[in-house]
Structure 1
Amino acid sequence: MSLQGSLFGQDNNHKQEINLENGLLEYYPHFFTPTDSDRIFQQLIATITWKQESMRMYGREVLFPRLMAWYGDANSSYSFSGNTFKPLPWTAELTMIRDRVAMAAGTTFNSVLLNYYRSGNDSMGWHADDEPELGKNPVIGSVNMGATRRFLLRHRYHQDLKYEIALEHGSLLLMKGELQHFWEHQVPKTAKPVGPRINLTFRYIYP
């Protein structure tokens, strides 16, 4: 199964529901207009406090292959890959994006993880957003700005179940239902020439 390219016009109320076994995706190819997307992308590059974090692997520190930042409410610290991230306070731009995504998702978010993929060499490995502090069946709102990158999913228990989406500039992907407990996802490296991309994943952290 795969979904490639734009299926709808410039209307952020249009979405495609993708019912997977043990999970649901909702994809808005043009959640933000091209003009807004360009402006937001440049502002995030310039104003976010980007860092290249590291994790402990095989007895040594290994740098994540991308830049990262964590913003949110004061009580929304988040732990993954052996690190605990304390949030920076919301900016006006991030608050605006959060509120628009929350309205589409029908839920609230108190934090956002930003990943800055500087080129095709930057990537995200296989993982699921299933940490205990996210609660049961978390809703994850994934906003994509900049270059289009492949987003791959694979079922944890059925190796033949896979899915792929090309996440476009200004798009929103909502991950719902049991998806995080049954599916993993990744953004692979690519040898093709590709520009920079910023991904924002909004979530609710339970204290």
Structure 2
Amino acid sequence: MTAPFQASLLDSCEAAGPGPLGSTVRRTPLDHGAWIDLRPGWISGADALFERLVRDVPWHAERRHMYDRVVDVPRLLKFYDEDEPLPDPMLEQARDALNAHYAGELGEPFRTAGLCLYRDGRDSVAWHGDRIGRGSTEDTMVAIISVGAPRALLLRPNGGGPALRHELGHGDLIVMGGSCQRTWEHAVPKSARATGPRVSVQFRPRGVR
């Protein structure tokens, strides 16, 4: 289930950093007032950023209660609260660009960053919405940057139904907005194919987890 990381032939470290947003962002309305924005290849130099994050972030494993037992979380994690410096200047640039683009619609800045390292196809995250805190009662946004090998991100209405699938990696951006965290679920499923590592960076406003 593990494959070596393969850099994108389209990625370049020249003028590395976030690209423009604006008209390059494609919005898809969903049911119940939810929507997603997609901006493929938003981060130039994403493969080099991936390598720096894998090397420099103090990743840790977690264990959580699941039903009647404690299990390993199938990915490595690091959370940066709003008072903590981010581990790479490019993430600061990305957060500033997201804040500028979504300021009028969100009405507040993105403040925290949660990072996940999916080491291979055995690492995953189950169906969920970011409903700890204000996300359970208010419309909000979660912006996710994916670097490294592409992995599937699935979205479906709460309670099941046909799922939307997006393969995200190599600097792609997805933003989940409106009621998405309350009325939809998202997941990164396990993969039986040989799969390279991926880092997911989730920017959130204050009080949303």
Work out the percentage of aligned pairs sharing the same amino acid. Answer: 30
Q: Distance in 2 between matches of 1:143 and 1:105?
A: 15
Partner of 1:90: 86
- TM-score, normalising length: structure 2: 0.80
Partner of 2:38: 27
Aligned residues: 182
Note the alpha carbon deviations across 1:66-118, whole angstroms, 9 max, x for none.
000000224xxxxxxxxxxxxx5433423223223323333511101100000
Partner of 2:99: 102
Partner of 2:55: 46
The aligned runs of 1:190-201 (5 Å cut-off) are 190-201=191-202
Partner of 1:141: 143
Shift of 1:31: 0.7
Q: Tell me which amino acid in the other structure corresponds to 1:144.
A: S
> Tell me, which stretches of 5 or more residues in structure 1 are unaligned?
1-9, 75-87
Shift of 1:59: 3.5
Change in 2 beyond 3 A, CA 1:92/1:121:
closer
Tell me if structure 2 keeps the 8 A contact 1:12–1:30: no
Q: Tell me which amino acid in the other structure corresponds to 1:17.
A: R
Tell me if structure 1 keeps the 8 A contact 2:53–2:88: no
Aligned with residue 155 of structure 1, among 154, 157, 174:
157
Task: Describe the SS at the equivalent of 2:43.
Answer: coil
Q: Distance in 2 between matches of 1:206 and 1:178?
A: 16
Q: Distance in 1 between matches of 2:86 and 2:97?
A: 14
Matched, 1:175 2:176: yes
Shift of 1:161: 4.2
Q: Tell me which amino acid in the other structure corresponds to 1:47.
A: D
Q: Tell me which amino acid in the other structure corresponds to 1:168.
A: G
Q: Tell me which amino acid in the other structure corresponds to 1:119.
A: D
- TM-score, normalising length: structure 1: 0.80
Q: Distance in 1 between matches of 2:207 and 2:191?
A: 35
Task: Describe the SS at the equivalent of 2:110.
Answer: coil
Q: Distance in 2 between matches of 1:61 and 1:18?
A: 38
Q: Distance in 2 between matches of 1:206 and 1:55?
A: 21
The aligned runs of 1:110-149 (5 Å cut-off) are 110-134=111-135, 136-149=138-151
Tell me if structure 1 keeps the 8 A contact 2:28–2:37: yes
Note the alpha carbon deviations across 1:42-74, whole angstroms, 9 max, x for none.
111111110011101234321100000000224
Note the alpha carbon deviations across 1:161-202, whole angstroms, 9 max, x for none.
431111131011011101111100000000111110000110
Note the alpha carbon deviations across 1:117-167, whole angstroms, 9 max, x for none.
00011101000012224461111000000111111111015x434311111
RMSD of aligned alpha carbons: 2.0
Aligned with residue 16 of structure 1, among 23, 26, 34:
26
> Tell me, which stretches of 5 or more residues in structure 2 are unaligned?
1-11, 13-18
Tell me if structure 2 keeps the 8 A contact 1:105–1:174: no
Runs of 4+ in 1 over 6 A off after TM superposition: none
